[in-house]
Amino acid sequence: MYFDPTDDQLALRDAVRAFARTELAPGYLPRAKSEKFPWELHRQVASMGTFGLLAGSEHNPLPQEDYVAAGLVVEELAYADFNIANAAIPVMLMSSLIAAHGNEHTRRTWLDPLVAGDAYVALGLTEPDTGSDVASIRTTAVADGDGYVISGEKTSVTMLAHSQAILLVASTVRDGARVGASTFVVPLDSPGISTSLIADTGWRPMGRGVLHLDGVRVPAEALLGAEGEAFRSVLGGFDFTRPLLALTGIGCAQASVDETAEYLKHRQVFGSPLARFEGASFPLAEHATHLEAARLLCYSTLWRRSTGRPHTALAAMTKWYGPKQASQAVHDCLLLHGNYGYSCELPFEQRMRDVLAVEIADGTAQIQKIVIARELYGREFVPYDRRPR
């Protein structure tokens, strides 16, 4: 494995880093407390080519599809603004799926605006009674004439408040028989759609919400890929979104560790800088080590994705280990700032709220451990009630 970034990857990383630390970092805290989505900053991120990395050769600023570059972009954005980084991940997923599986109508309608940062397509997978058990989804798409009629409910839809369309998974019915789960791109202004928002403790600019579909009619062109192929197309994307999500936590936690190190150098206690006391310096040393281990695990996974090697177990490892270490690091950085750290004027309490979101998104730690055990040791390690009988 070659760990040094290529010249192209470095150039992109450095451009994103300069922009993020100059333009994003100063305004992170007020933006994080607002429900308004920063569209102009989102477009500026897009203008660097970041959203085209996985969207095909027409949009990619690099010579080839590059998941490691996507990771570098996301980590640099998260170092400065955790939420803007997380808003970038669904764009990368949606653009990759539409580029790979979309028909001409879908690509023409949504791909260019997505990559330019002018539109947003949310992902609708989770339902009120179904989270990671996606085989049990209840939303249906009934084939009817030259289209489909979709009914059901999707919850925990990230960016629903700010999206123009949703890519959703529905159990497809044709001639009275279920033909499997299919994926559809549905405009959110379609008749029969209603939405409601979820009041979150963090991740507030992300506009998470609930989508209700009551007999929503869509044309055949709304189908993404083939009928019954949703799990192969959509769920395969989680093997790269999981390390990207972990990197948002790692980037945010690294900023907290770096800021705390500077604070400890200047905070005087008993006539000496606080950094000279092992009780303060050792936690930072430990977190620097854990974050570096988590970071390397993420980039190893993304490198395997880029080179076509198996990486499902590694992706689940990143999603369990990375957010866990990030949350612990931010928590300890808050404590090391004492009473100042507990104040809303410093970013640590907000980062704790925000980073907690990536311990849940794309599957909790328990789900990731099921995936790891299944991939490493066999199908016998799936939950007992899902085993073939």
Q: Which amino acid is at 117?
A: G
Number of folded domains in the chain? Answer: 3
Question: Which residue, 186, 181, 177, 173, is CA-closest to 134?
Answer: 181
- Euclidean distance between CA atoms 165 and 13, whole angstroms: 30
Residues 155 and 242 in one domain: no
- Euclidean distance between CA atoms 260 and 341, whole angstroms: 10
Q: What percent of the chain has pLDDT over 90?
A: 88
Residue at which a domain ends, from 64, 85, 119: 119
The tokens of 200 are what?
A: 């979150």
Q: Is residue 1 a part of any domain in this protein?
A: no
- CATH code of 137's domain: 2.40.110.10
Question: Which residue, 244, 147, 153, 146, is CA-closest to 193?
Answer: 153
- Euclidean distance between CA atoms 280 and 287, whole angstroms: 12
Residues 129 and 88 in one domain: no
Residues 103 and 217 in one domain: no
Residues 377 and 239 in one domain: yes
24 pLDDT above the threshold of 90: yes
Mean pLDDT, range 189-205, rounded to an integer: 95
Q: Is residue 63 a part of any domain in this protein?
A: yes
Residues 129 and 114 in one domain: no
Residues 171 and 307 in one domain: no
pLDDT at 235 (0 to 100): 74
Mean pLDDT, range 164-170, rounded to an integer: 96
Mean pLDDT, range 229-247, rounded to an integer: 88
Mean pLDDT, range 246-273, rounded to an integer: 96
Residue at which a domain ends, from 228, 246, 266: 228
Is the pLDDT higher at 99 or at 236?
Answer: 99
- What residues are paired with 130 via a beta bridge? 127
pLDDT tens digits for range 89-100? 999 999 999 999
- Euclidean distance between CA atoms 338 and 98, whole angstroms: 48
pLDDT at 384 (0 to 100): 52
- CATH code of 77's domain: 1.10.540.10
Q: Is residue 203 a part of any domain in this protein?
A: yes
- For 15, the domain range is 7-119
**How far apart, in Å, do the first and last CA atoms of the chain sit?**
41
Q: Which amino acid is at 243?
A: P
Using pLDDT thresholds of 50, 70 and 90, give the confidence band for residue 133: confident
Ranges of H-type helices in the chain: 7-19, 28-32, 39-47, 67-80, 82-101, 104-106, 112-116, 230-233, 238-266, 278-306, 312-336, 338-341, 348-356, 365-377
88 pLDDT above the threshold of 90: yes
290 pLDDT above the threshold of 80: yes
Residues 108 and 127 in one domain: no
Residue at which a domain ends, from 181, 196, 228: 228
pLDDT at 248 (0 to 100): 98
Mean pLDDT, range 308-332, rounded to an integer: 97
DSSP 144-211: ETTEEEEEEEEEEETTGGG-SEEEEEEEEEETTEEEEEEEEEEETTSTTEEEEE---SS-GGG--EEE
Q: Rg (Cα) of the chain, in Å, rounded?
A: 21
- Euclidean distance between CA atoms 356 and 353, whole angstroms: 6
Q: Is residue 246 a part of any domain in this protein?
A: yes
Q: Is residue 81 a part of any domain in this protein?
A: yes
Mean pLDDT, range 28-46, rounded to an integer: 97
Using pLDDT thresholds of 50, 70 and 90, give the confidence band for residue 387: very low
Question: Which residue, 340, 342, 343, 290, is CA-closest to 320?
Answer: 290
pTM of the model: 0.94
- CATH code of 277's domain: 1.20.140.10
Q: Taking a C-beta distance cutoff of 8 angstroms, is the pair 129, 163 a contact?
A: no
Q: Taking a C-beta distance cutoff of 8 angstroms, is the pair 361, 158 a contact?
A: yes
Residues 251 and 296 in one domain: yes
Residues 67 and 143 in one domain: no
Residues 34 and 89 in one domain: yes
pLDDT at 210 (0 to 100): 98
Residues 115 and 127 in one domain: no
Phi, then psi, of 130 in degrees rounded to 5: -140, 115
Q: Is residue 2 a part of any domain in this protein?
A: no
385 pLDDT above the threshold of 50: no
Residues 114 and 127 in one domain: no
Using pLDDT thresholds of 50, 70 and 90, give the confidence band for residue 389: very low
Q: Is residue 330 a part of any domain in this protein?
A: yes
pLDDT tens digits for range 141-151? 999 999 999 99
